[in-house]
Structure 1
Amino acid sequence: MKKPEVSVRAIPGWVIVLTLFGVLYLTGLHTEVVGQVQRLLLASGLKNAGVPEPVSAAGTETTATNHAAVVGAGFKLTDLNGTTINFASLRGKVVFLNIWATWCPPCVAEMPNIQRLYEKVGSDKIAFVMLSVDKGGPEKVQKFIQKKGYTFPVYLPASQFPQELYSNSIPTTFIISPEGEIVAKQEGMAAYDTPEMREFLKSMVR
């Protein structure tokens, strides 16, 4: 007796989609695939990060942004080489702080854009802090960063997370003034390599 042939066309579409997603999830590729799709959204310009008005030449804010408490007192960070620094040591610099994780697709999506911003700003008065919340030590994070070829500074928390930096989602990005106050916050992915953002960061440099 001839065995019945199974046609691919006879398989319901939802079965194929679920199988595809299952394979991507089991192989760990789902983060990359979703990140690539979201990266296309960023490239469209629809998710550019908003920025407050630049500071004036005299160094005062031209808008009432946040006159919040100084951020990160006592907070410690560890870089990928195991060196611990005090967040307070960045006082006097503009800080671009991005909270992310390797398993987070929108984090993966916005990283190339942040890398370009980092390369273009090029000031020792502007500190980039790419703060990973991955668990299990720096090895996984270091492997990810090396694979991607990113050169911005990457850290992991080495003490209790400051309340001021809590967020309901990642990625979340904070821009902190040289005085240690949060002047901008973006929850969710965004495109940061824009003329407006570059100008805003440079405008706060003392």
Structure 2
Amino acid sequence: MSNKNFSMKDVYGWLVMIAVFGLLYLTGLHTEVIGQVQRLLLATSLFRPELPEENPEVPTDNTTMVGQDFLLQSLDGQESFRLESLQGKVVFINFWATWCPPCIAEMPNIQSLYEQVRSDKITFLMVSLDEDPAKALRFIEKKGYTLPVFRPASPLPKEFITQSIPTTIVLSPEGKLIVHKEGMADYDTQEFRSFLLHLSE
């Protein structure tokens, strides 16, 4: 087999590519870059959250809220509350981390959804799984997001445990788990907005 077509130009090209990827990893920008590529995938409409076939009729005979004892704390540690305090509202919960490219990819759409449907009947909880809450806080401030961000202050309820992040959960006002979506999705759609608004009626 001949290697006549292999040249120093090929070696140079590979070295440049390795250097670029190495620089991205050393600076921590690889997550942002991969996230932006995945954001382009979200724009294809292939990553829509699966909703119940029809708007669910939620039973009201059992008043126990899913994950009611789950304790959340603000990133600065100044505020904490249990999930049960939100019973009576639709609760949109997103588990994410700054090191997770698909989390970064879907966050602008979640911010847009939040701006369009938030009300006293619909609550958003972005739950950071970063070990260092200050890192999550810096990320949110840098991006200019206004989403309310918290961290777990107790173990995750068994109903929320997931094999991957991002994971998004929607609870009905009665405290029932309606949506449990693992992986990234585009939630800023008319269908999903209508779904949340209908649940909150």
TM-score, length basis structure 1: 0.86
Structure 1 position 13, deviation (Å) = 4.5
Code of the aligned partner of 2:148: P
Aligned residue pairs: how many? 191
1:105 pairs with 97, 101, 105, which one? 101
Structure 1 position 78, deviation (Å) = 0.5
Q: Contact 2:55 / 2:199 at 8 angstroms: preserved in 1?
A: yes
Q: Could you tell which deviates more after superposition, 96-105 or 118-127?
A: 118-127
Structure 1 position 50, deviation (Å) = 2.2
Q: Where do 5+ consecutive residues of structure 2 fail to align?
A: 1-6
1:84 pairs with 77, 80, 103, which one? 80
**Correspondence 1:26 to 2:19:** no
Code of the aligned partner of 1:115: Q
For 2:43, the equivalent position in structure 1 comes to 43
For 2:122, the equivalent position in structure 1 comes to 126
Local SS of the residue matching 1:102? coil
Give deviations 1:158-198, integer Å, cap 9, x for gaps: 11111110000000001111111111111110100000000
Q: Contact 1:91 / 1:179 at 8 angstroms: preserved in 2?
A: yes
For 2:3, the equivalent position in structure 1 comes to none
Code of the aligned partner of 1:119: E
For 1:96, the equivalent position in structure 2 comes to 92
Q: Contact 1:54 / 1:203 at 8 angstroms: preserved in 2?
A: no
Q: Distance in 1 between matches of 2:17 and 2:192?
A: 39
Q: Where do 5+ consecutive residues of structure 1 fail to align?
A: 1-6
Shift in CA distance, 8/143, structure 1 to aligned 2, threshold 3 Å: farther
2:175 pairs with 167, 173, 180, which one? 180
Q: Contact 2:118 / 2:124 at 8 angstroms: preserved in 1?
A: no
Q: Distance in 2 between matches of 1:127 and 1:94?
A: 6
Structure 1 position 203, deviation (Å) = 0.8
Give deviations 1:50-74, integer Å, cap 9, x for gaps: 2224537xxx25xx9xx9x731121
Q: Distance in 2 between matches of 1:169 and 1:77?
A: 20
Code of the aligned partner of 2:98: T
Code of the aligned partner of 1:184: V
Q: Distance in 2 between matches of 1:198 and 1:54?
A: 14
For 2:165, the equivalent position in structure 1 comes to 170
> What is the percent sequence identity of the aligned residues?
54
For 2:198, the equivalent position in structure 1 comes to 203
Local SS of the residue matching 1:97? strand
Code of the aligned partner of 2:138: K
Give deviations 1:57-114, integer Å, cap 9, x for gaps: xxx25xx9xx9x7311211000134211111101110011100000000000000000
